[in-house]
Chains A and B, each alone.
Chain A
Amino acid sequence: MSTTIEQFADLSATTLLRFATAGSVDDGKSTLVGRLLHDSKSVLTDQLEAVEAASAKRGQDAPDLALLTDGLRAEREQGITIDVAYRYFATPRRRFILADTPGHVQYTRNMVTGASTADLALVLVDARNGVVEQTRRHAAVAALLRVPHVVLAVNKMDLVGYEEAVFAAIAEEFTTYAAELGVPEITAIPISALAGDNVVEPSAHMDWYGGPTVLEHLETVPVSHDLTGCHARLPVQYVIRPQTAEHPDYRGYAGQIAAGTFRVGESVTVLPSGRTSKISGIDLLGESVDVAWTPQSVTLLLEDDVDISRGDLIVPSGDAPATTQDVEATVCHVADQPLAVGHRVLLKHGTRTVKAIVKDIPSRLTLDDLSLHPHPGQLVANDIGRVKIRTAEPLPLDSYADSRRTGAFILIDPADGTTLTAGMVGESFASPEPVKADVDYDGWDF
């Protein structure tokens, strides 16, 4: 047996990386994903046999690794695409959760969904085509969603003779564009998913490239950062009150820390009420700790008997966000029914759901060229736009730039519960003015 208990011991100390892939239809994304799974030995014999059988049925000689990520029969029959398929693989260093988003149909919605929880976005381009409209769109979604790390995989290097100059030109064009949008970190890697160059193993054909392979980069990119400067936020999910003989007075505020760190002894404020207290204890799933941080699920105990319920937000007293009933945000519309000015919706932020009304849709943004179209009246599926929303109750909102979790919200249709829109509070992009206005809206810009 090749696997030992020592390896298990290593595995239990690994970290978790969530990443999303983005690519156009023919740029080899499925092959890359198939190869990552296959070469990291995450495809098991029975899965491979199924792929071989399906490939043979279609008259292909070699197993088509793209079939590993094939869709459901319901999708094929109904001509629909379920937005994101999740894949899992592991190396001794890390566990990976891959949000694999199909490229063609409902593209923006899919990538926004996948990118919303991703630490890294993997953007593919075909080396023969270079940076195309789709690529700029992928970069824009990664920038909008503030994905911390972006990888540009320049694929099909085998078809351009493994030429360094081809890679360098594409990498520079993409990096310049993404940096303008405020993407904080970009790594470009020349690969051939089909031949396996620089995916898991270093390429024998590109001596000029000294950087990591795709998998090496995925294994080593930081998944967390120094949290000491972050705004600490705990949305209260549930109040734990045993009311038993053993715990007659226990009253704990349970939630997953959405950002930053909390310490015992710290003064905290509860929003939206504004009441204050001090943290008297932190229960980390059965273990009493002095400090806890995101994304740990904890139970906070406070010195005073404060009235706190689900939906409240606990924050450090010196670092409370302003509460507001007027929300300005960038949104991605994800539902088939449109969102129009005047619509009454529900807004879910953290653990709080409130009534809201769409007051204005000042503009719609075209991701391909970042042009801005004023007053579109409504947003349809896959549109990105700016919205102004009035909520029935004040909300403690961070800007999405400061906190991906407490700066995000969804809009819900109160009638049928459909998730309508993904919202990000504040400015769209990290950089000052990447967006250009385009008053001559001609309707041809999706």
Chain B
Amino acid sequence: MTTPAAALTEGTDSPYALSHLDALESEAVHIFREVAGEFERPVILFSGGKDSIVMLHLALKAFAPAAVPFTLLHVDTGHNFPEVIEYRDRVVAEHGLRLHVASVQEYIDRGDLKERPDGTRNPLQTVPLTEAIQRHRFDAVFGGGRRDEEKARAKERVFSLRDEFSQWDPRRQRPELWQLYNGRHAPGEHVRVFPLSNWTELDVWQYIAREEIELPQIYFAHEREVFQRAGMWLTAGDWGGPKQGESVEKRLIRYRTVGDMSCTGAVDSDATTLDAVIAEIAASRLTERGATRADDKMSEAAMEDRKREGYF
């Protein structure tokens, strides 16, 4: 990349200018504290993925030396990576947090949800998530969504009002002026809150490196048995792959996002350290979701549709 401004005078910023990571961190902490001050029953959606790990880290910093005044909620598809579930349970125990689990498998076992023919469980998370929010009467639900991920998210508010069915109605979204977030909602409604709205994938990784935050090992390069489906490397396993005609091979890969095993693709990578991962992402010519998420490839408006139905 060229640096067109390199020839111009250096040091135009005053000593009071924050680095972009400090500015983003301060903004996210402000959002967490606003929710703690204005809501009765907030919860953090925690999947063990890097964005939710960064959210939890920010929440821990925002209220230290006191405990985080929120509980955690994980929507477990039943097809999660075992390394991630192990990480989740360890972090919860380490910080003395309370974890709620909404299990997609239980819904399927009870016959309340049907397995899709393609075996993908990501779209099945919406009902367990919505019902968990209703059952626990959560009024603020923190999600790790970022506006840089996808164009339906680019117009998402930091405080995003949802009706009692968790639906997102673009017409009811409130203009967000200055840093004055409006969290008012009727009983039964809730507000989805996105403290990482203004972060990019690279910011998240740089912050993880700066704060030395531990991540599940699947984010780093490792050898794994994978097979190709819809142009993505999926992990072989009991969840439903490979099917006949799909052949398994061992590759050196890592995960750029962490979700359900049935729709989260691995990328070829030899990045075994944070610095190597950051270098790889800075050079990548694909977006995170384009590279790794089968569910977003379904249609041009796939994310928009799921969002309106109450997805994360």
Least CB distance from A381 to B in Å reads: 10
Q: Are A334 and B180 in contact (CB under 8 A)?
A: no
Question: Which residues of A are found within 8 Å of B61, using beta-carbon distances?
Answer: 285-286
- How far is it, in angstroms, between the C-alpha of A410 and the C-alpha of B21 when the chains are bound? 28
Residues on A facing B (Cβ under 8 Å) = 1-5, 7-8, 11-16, 40-41, 44-47, 50, 54, 70, 72-75, 78, 80, 82-88, 90-95, 97, 109, 112-113, 116-117, 200-202, 212-213, 215-216, 219-227, 237-238, 240-244, 246-247, 250, 254-256, 261, 285-286, 293-297, 310, 334, 346, 348-349, 351, 404-405, 408-410, 412, 416-419, 422
- How far is it, in angstroms, between the C-alpha of A262 and the C-alpha of B12 when the chains are bound? 23
In B135-156, which residues have CB < 8 Å from any A CB?
A: 147-148, 151-152, 154-155
List the B residue with the shortest CB-CB distance to A293: B16
Q: Are A117 and B170 in contact (CB under 8 A)?
A: no
Q: Are A116 and B198 in contact (CB under 8 A)?
A: no
List the A residue with the shortest CB-CB distance to B153: A86
Question: Which residues of A are found within 8 Å of B171, using beta-carbon distances?
Answer: 78, 80
- How far is it, in angstroms, between the C-alpha of A248 and the C-alpha of B232 when the chains are bound? 53
Q: Would you give the 0/1 interface string for B150-184, flagging 1 where the beta carbon is closer than 8 Å to chain A?
A: 01101100000100000000110111111110101
Q: Are B177 and A116 in contact (CB under 8 A)?
A: yes
B3 in contact (CB, < 8 A): yes
- Report if A85-B155 is in contact (Cβ < 8 Å); known contacts: A47-B287, A242-B66, A418-B174: yes
Q: Are A295 and B66 in contact (CB under 8 A)?
A: no
Q: Are A237 and B37 in contact (CB under 8 A)?
A: yes
Q: Are B21 and A117 in contact (CB under 8 A)?
A: no
List the B residue with the shortest CB-CB distance to A299: B64
Q: Are A14 and B19 in contact (CB under 8 A)?
A: yes
- Report if A222-B34 is in contact (Cβ < 8 Å); known contacts: A16-B24, A41-B1, A95-B20: no
Q: Are B16 and A225 in contact (CB under 8 A)?
A: yes
A-B contact pairs, 18 of them (CB 8 A): A3-B279, A5-B279, A74-B170, A75-B170, A84-B175, A95-B200, A215-B5, A216-B5, A220-B8, A223-B17, A241-B66, A250-B65, A254-B63, A256-B30, A256-B33, A296-B18, A417-B161, A417-B186
Q: Which of A8, A14, A255 contacts B279 (CB under 8 A)? A: A8
The 4 nearest A-B residue pairs measured at CB: A417-B184, A46-B290, A224-B17, A242-B66
Q: Are B177 and A408 in contact (CB under 8 A)?
A: yes
- How far is it, in angstroms, between the C-alpha of A5 and the C-alpha of B65 when the chains are bound? 34
Q: Which of B26, B148, B178 contacts A116 (CB under 8 A)? A: B178
Other 19 A-B pairs with CB < 8 A, given A72-B301, A91-B4: A16-B20, A16-B23, A45-B290, A47-B290, A86-B198, A90-B202, A92-B1, A92-B3, A216-B8, A220-B5, A222-B13, A244-B65, A254-B33, A254-B63, A261-B16, A334-B177, A404-B178, A409-B180, A422-B175
Question: Which residues of A are found within 8 Å of B282, using beta-carbon distances?
Answer: 3, 7-8, 11
- How far is it, in angstroms, between the C-alpha of A296 and the C-alpha of B180 when the chains are bound? 16
In B61-78, which residues have CB < 8 Å from any A CB?
A: 61-67
Question: Which residues of B are found within 8 Å of A293, using beta-carbon distances?
Answer: 16
Question: Which residues of B are found within 8 Å of A13, using beta-carbon distances?
Answer: 19
Number of A-B contacts (CB under 8 A): 253
Question: Which residues of B are found within 8 Å of A351, using beta-carbon distances?
Answer: 34, 37
Question: Which residues of B are found within 8 Å of A241, using beta-carbon distances?
Answer: 66
Interface band, chain B: 35 or more
- How far is it, in angstroms, between the C-alpha of A74 and the C-alpha of B155 when the chains are bound? 12
- Report if A422-B177 is in contact (Cβ < 8 Å); known contacts: A5-B279, A295-B27: yes
Question: Which residues of A are found within 8 Å of B17, using beta-carbon distances?
Answer: 15, 222-224
List the B residue with the shortest CB-CB distance to A212: B8
- Report if A82-B19 is in contact (Cβ < 8 Å); known contacts: A3-B283, A256-B29: no
B203 in contact (CB, < 8 A): yes
List the A residue with the shortest CB-CB distance to B210: A12
B284 in contact (CB, < 8 A): yes
B14 in contact (CB, < 8 A): yes
List the B residue with the shortest CB-CB distance to A222: B12
Q: Are A117 and B154 in contact (CB under 8 A)?
A: no
Question: Which residues of A are found within 8 Å of B206, using beta-carbon distances?
Answer: 8, 11-12
- How far is it, in angstroms, between the C-alpha of A91 and the C-alpha of B280 when the chains are bound? 16
Question: Which residues of A are found within 8 Å of B178, using beta-carbon distances?
Answer: 116-117, 404-405, 408, 410, 422
List the A residue with the shortest CB-CB distance to B170: A74
Q: Which of B24, B25, B182 contacts A285 (CB under 8 A)? A: B25
- How far is it, in angstroms, between the C-alpha of A351 and the C-alpha of B63 when the chains are bound? 17
List the B residue with the shortest CB-CB distance to A49: B290
Q: With a 10 A CB-CB cut-off, give which of B3, B26, B178, B186 has the most chain A CB atoms.
A: B178
B230 in contact (CB, < 8 A): no
Least CB distance from B72 to A in Å reads: 19
Question: Which residues of A are found within 8 Å of B8, using beta-carbon distances?
Answer: 212, 216, 219-220
- Report if A88-B200 is in contact (Cβ < 8 Å); known contacts: A113-B177, A348-B180: yes
Q: With a 10 A CB-CB cut-off, give which of A86, A91, A221 has the most chain B CB atoms.
A: A86
- Report if A237-B203 is in contact (Cβ < 8 Å); known contacts: A7-B282, A220-B12, A223-B13: no
Q: Are A45 and B14 in contact (CB under 8 A)?
A: no
B298 in contact (CB, < 8 A): no
Q: Are A109 and B175 in contact (CB under 8 A)?
A: yes
- How far is it, in angstroms, between the C-alpha of A417 and the C-alpha of B159 when the chains are bound? 12
Q: Which of A8, A215, A225, A419 contacts B182 (CB under 8 A)? A: A419
B22 in contact (CB, < 8 A): yes
Question: Which residues of A are found within 8 Å of B36, using beta-carbon distances?
Answer: 237-238
Question: Which residues of A are found within 8 Å of B174, using beta-carbon distances?
Answer: 417-419
Question: Which residues of B are found within 8 Å of A47, using beta-carbon distances?
Answer: 287, 290
- How far is it, in angstroms, between the C-alpha of A75 and the C-alpha of B151 when the chains are bound? 12
Question: Which residues of B are found within 8 Å of A12, using beta-carbon distances?
Answer: 19, 21, 206, 210
Q: Which of B29, B152, B170, B177 contacts A80 (CB under 8 A)? A: B170
- Report if A73-B301 is in contact (Cβ < 8 Å); known contacts: A223-B13, A286-B64: yes
B275 in contact (CB, < 8 A): yes
Question: Which residues of A are found within 8 Å of B62, using beta-carbon distances?
Answer: 254, 285, 297
- How far is it, in angstroms, between the C-alpha of A157 and the C-alpha of B223 when the chains are bound? 55
Question: Which residues of B are found within 8 Å of A82, using beta-carbon distances?
Answer: 155, 170, 173
